[in-house]
Amino acid sequence: MLEKRKGITVSRQIMDDQLLHPDATGELTGLLNDLVVAGKIISAEVNMAGLADILGQSGKTNIQGETVQKLDVFANQTIKRRMEQCGYVCVMASEEDDEVIPVLDGYEGEYTIAFDPLDGSSNIDVNVSIGTIFSIHRRLSEKGMGTEADLLQKGSKQVAAGYIIYGSSTVMVYTTGSGVHGFTLDPSVGEFFLSHPYITIPDVCPYYSVNEAYSTYWLDSTRDFIAQLKKEEDGMGPYSLRYIGSLVADFHRNLVKGGIFLYPRDKKSPEKSEGKLRLLYEAAPLAMVVEQAGGRAITDDGRRILDIEPTNLHQRVPLIIGSKKEVDLAEKFFT
């Protein structure tokens, strides 16, 4: 049925999703629609970046002589401003903010949101796709301002998750637990239209994505698995390496074309003893999307990402995510 309805707007799909949940109050619908508006605003700014002379610099002036913000600061402010006053969120976490972010007094709602406002922002200056990643939970506390405890919930408890990729086109991919849909922004009318109904990650997986520069610092099991991907054995491999260095871009390609992405732990630096990527607003939301699309997401010691109990807002986690068969194979090396 959704297939026949290609071209519906994301707002219409969000409302239709609400109908799948009889107890829904409409707050999640409102929250997601406000997030859509934030995505449109960020997309317009990202696409202006080259002209507005805001390529990764802060304090520069744009062609109108106004002081402009770095895009990741701009994206962070845009999402926080919309979420703090929408009335659907009780507390937020952002990759850009060390502490929990409160909402406006009197506007506390039923949900929490954790987000990476502009992941991969170091790639802005070279026109590589970047993205916003978001994760939404129902609050645990009864009422009033939310707390860190409302945010530190397992990924399996997410009610919605997704990302917006700002690339050759702006595409919003999200799930509320009933499949994964992709919507492409038509900037001429300012609407996201359904372009990828019921995304399922292909079984055939041509690509692996990992930064091989760190291979000498990997665990032996990681090195052995990557070596296996380079062989042609049992009808699998050899796989082509595709690594953009922008998580949302690498993930989106693998979701649409098939592939496995790895950011494993390495022994090079203590801060990467658990990998580089963050659990709350990178690994967990993408893990919900990939599992809803028929894929898998685990750590390099075989734990399911969605089962990990978070202990702090910015904790890192090793991430192996993508086509089921290849993640199953990786699991054999990691457990």
Q: For binding to ligand P6P (CB under 6 A), which residues are involved?
A: 119-120, 122, 211, 245-247, 276
Kindly state the smallest distance separating residue 95's Cβ from ligand P6P, in Å.
9
Kindly state the smallest distance separating residue 120's Cβ from ligand P6P, in Å.
4
Closer residue to ligand P6P in complex, CB, 57/211: 211
Q: What are phi and psi of 263, to 5 degrees?
A: -125, 85
H/E run at residue 32: helix 27-48
Closer residue to ligand P6P in complex, CB, 178/211: 211
Kindly state the smallest distance separating residue 183's Cβ from ligand P6P, in Å.
22
Q: Please say whether the dihedral angle defined by the alpha carbons of residues 94, 95, 96 and 97, taken in this order, is positive or negative.
A: positive
Kindly state the smallest distance separating residue 258's Cβ from ligand P6P, in Å.
18
Closer residue to ligand P6P in complex, CB, 253/276: 276
Residues 6+ apart with CB under 8 A from 144: 90, 108
- C-beta separation of 263 from 297 below 8 A: no
Q: What are phi and psi of 283, to 5 degrees?
A: -65, -50
Closer residue to ligand P6P in complex, CB, 225/281: 281
Closer residue to ligand P6P in complex, CB, 120/264: 120
Kindly state the smallest distance separating residue 217's Cβ from ligand P6P, in Å.
11
Burial 148-158 (b: 16+ CB within 10 A, else e): eebbbbbbeeb
SS3 142: coil
